[in-house]
Structure 1
């Protein structure tokens, strides 16, 4: 029996795989070793995961998560081993590797994450061989929910979008300039605040200027990130995440404009991870 985990800062999806089949899925709170201690992570495993598992005897554990950088891996592994009796491998890796393995399987390719933040990598069929740093929503994260929201807000406040879109925005959100500046510059998690305006973009995607804003955001992502990887012009480019999933048409248009081919789009990587770890992709 193996145990897979796909973890973000808000939730973790666990999947028990027995004899090559996914037999049980479990949801617990998110895990991020940048913000949590080993003790806190271990306690969440003990209180929320263990009661739902058929046994604590696990052959292999593969944990993919936000914040799982090389220097933080020992925290996660120690927390997992504290309550799980792991007889084989215990591999902790980044959410980027989860996306790559889910999208590309055991074949080389280029994989991207496009959710609240964005990321990308070149992948050799087993590991990441090149990664352009995403740099976060201030310096990078092109094409992400946070940056699309940031662009929308900037264009609204500077009257760069049609008057009917500006009017619709103010009617829907009732936010003053001071409110927005307070949330972006002085309060916590401004990236989530900005990504919260993505539904407005989706609602008004039939407006030419809004559609162009989204396509331009995706093109910036492709130019500044994906075009740095060898093979970008012949590998299909795969995407994981809600932004790619719900904005498929403008994403396709952006790829076409940059001479690229769209590969798979998935909302979450677990199904592909099960296939990867059971050699069924």
Structure 2
């Protein structure tokens, strides 16, 4: 038996924190009948994963939005919109709110590549990924975070368009990736796919932990705020899938963790950090 190391304690904390947090969020909605709080008004701890990077205030204008959208990465404009909503909640700066609404309207009306149907909107990545994934591909990260951001926009503005788009678009992601969604279903276990593309099959799913957890938190927050049963059931399935699969993310000696399972890729330190943030959020 090898001697324990400081890293063992970090990894065990990561595992334990995730399990504790997952249990807590599955029961907290039953602990009170108080109305859901404003999504963009959470504490820095609650919203840590969604406020992860530094953002230059020059980004908070039309030019910044266009430069962000030009990357053809739908997570980025939604990240910008949510940051602006959190700024508005803290400062009540009308300029922040106007910029947030502009970003949300842009994602609903102008962003490409995307499909816009009566049943909801799907946003795609417009660049080839380095693992041989050809554009357009999609992800459960923005697939759930985008709708969560739209719902937060409805909470602030009262614009029913944002709420309707949030619920419809999130439910599109409840389909399996092979059917254009982002949620693999295996009985009571579900997994949120970070990388999905036309023609994906189960054996090609990467099982990326940080992307799954990001989508999981966004799905939870949206489900609790909206009270939608279908979204709540999907969250419970994905939560159960997290608990079932989590031990697979440790190497044989429990000395480090995997970024993904297929194929196994070592986890960079900064992803351990963000996963701990997700656990405590």
**For the superposition of Structure 1 and Structure 2, which TM-score range results when normalised by the shorter chain?**
under 0.3
From the two aligned structures, give the one with the greater helix fraction.
2
Structure ranking higher on relative contact order (CA contacts 8 Å, 6+ apart)? 2
* Bigger Cα Rg: 1
TM-score scaled by length of structure 2: 0.24
